[in-house]
Chain A
């Protein structure tokens, strides 16, 4: 394909140079800097730049608040991701066939996804208010008595609150992607299967799923990565509270860096996060068959 096009010698490099320069400056340089700093012991009181090697990394293992924050992050991911996927898939099926006004419905359903996550969190904070918010009011109608649930304060209710907000915001994203994927599935195959008397589940498992899998896998990967670094929604709803009950890994790293000024330790946390993400990504990409 390239054989017929002979680039003026350096033209192709000029095209990529600015992009690569920016990526190095904003992406790679801070990362390397971070790596070096993570081997030192710099904090607010102490700017000594001598190397302490793995001191911070050893501390990581003893830091139970860190592992709890990791567990909180995984909990949110493990619950929210399947819900978003299944609900998004069900919604995609609902709107797969033509129906008058379909486009209007789709446009309205996409609204939550295009709102800033911080605003989504703020909105749900208002909705969840125990006294002036509508959610307790609506629950009260069903319960037949006034409900006074402290959604963003009560330790047993904060996770449902966060996950509700998260699912509300991102299910439409899954829905849009899966709707596009389902629309591309070869109709004649699914119809043939139906005529042969195949049940919906079997048709889905053996015809539809293989067809939409490449798209679905990437959607899962994108959402999974985003969920792993969830910050805005939790920040707006609870700021990691009550106490440190809903502190995610991103919030913990932020607090260590910008509230406690543990420069070196924060760098070590950042590397733990990068390491985990890299491992998960490589595993997922291999496992999902995304690379040929």
Chain B
């Protein structure tokens, strides 16, 4: 390549990059396309050999069945659990992070202990947790899963928000205090608005974590608060005629996340990288 004139080399490189980029997009997006497209196929099209690459017409029968049988309600359960637990985790986590940053509450030890909770493998606590929940009668209740997801997200929220709060100039808080604000008002009127982008970025990931959970929901739900992830696996039972349901249910459960991420996109990349940088 070094023999070519500079501008031609640049043009060559750019088209090469586009080619690779297009190839990557095809590889990474094809499975998503396939999932979506199966959900719009008729049974004949799903079980056609060779496979049909796109359906003759988009038909919504597979979704209609899910709504008729009430299976689609599991998406609602996921939505309630994920949003309510995100809400609580953000509040509790942010004020805790604020305390850790500004007052050095508990010193480094407390911060390290909280973060170490994040590496806890769910499978290590899910069994004793199950026994605890049976004892308290929390199995298959919104309450039980919401406090579980809230607690499990807390280390992440505290870890992330610590970084964002450290960036807020102390002078702002001091002047608010001098102006006669109470401590709570400082938190509410100065700290939270200043950490807004951090709050959004963190909330997106907290939401996705709760949304994606499968193991806890599998163990701790029965019929009332079944999440969509558990519902998808109910169709696995060996019989392949449930394919349409697997696909349609998966799409129903994927769309809310796609929408959330699309709206929050500008916070997302920052959220991922900040979390890693701030450690």
Contact = CB atoms under 8 A, between A and B. Distances in A.
Bound together = yes
Contact of A115 (B32, B105, B131): B32
Interface in A166-221: 168, 171-173, 176-177, 179-181, 184, 214-215, 218-219
Interface in A277-292: 277-278, 281, 290
Contacts of B155: 23
B5 interface: no
B35 A123 contact: yes
Interface in A55-88: none
Interface stretch (B17-25, B60-68, B195-203): B17-25
Interface string B208-238: 1001101100010000000001001100100
A139 interface: no
A18 B97 CA distance: 12
B139 interface: no
B197 to A, nearest CB: 15
Interface in B145-190: 147-148, 150-152, 154-155, 158, 170, 173-174, 177, 183
A16 B105 contact: yes
Contacts of A228: 121
Contacts of B117: 23, 27
Contacts of B273: 176-177, 180-181, 184, 215
A225 interface: yes
B56 interface: no
B42 interface: no
A76 B219 CA distance: 25
Interface residues on A, range: 35 or more
Contacts of A25: 147, 151
Contacts of B27: 168
Contact residues of A: prevailing secondary structure: helix
A177 B103 contact: no
A232 B215 contact: yes
A149 interface: no
B163 to A, nearest CB: 12
A249 B270 CA distance: 33
B121 A250 contact: yes
Interface of B: 14, 17-18, 20-21, 24-25, 27-32, 34-35, 38, 46-51, 53, 92-93, 95-96, 98-100, 102-106, 110, 114, 116-117, 119-132, 147-148, 150-152, 154-155, 158, 170, 173-174, 177, 183, 208, 211-212, 214-215, 219, 229, 232-233, 236, 240, 243, 246-247, 250, 253-254, 257-258, 261, 265, 268-270, 272-273, 276-277, 279
Given A273-B121, A281-B116, 7 more contacts: A5-B170, A7-B102, A26-B148, A30-B125, A94-B21, A126-B35, A271-B124
8 contacts: A7-B103, A12-B99, A15-B98, A19-B93, A94-B20, A116-B253, A137-B50, A177-B273
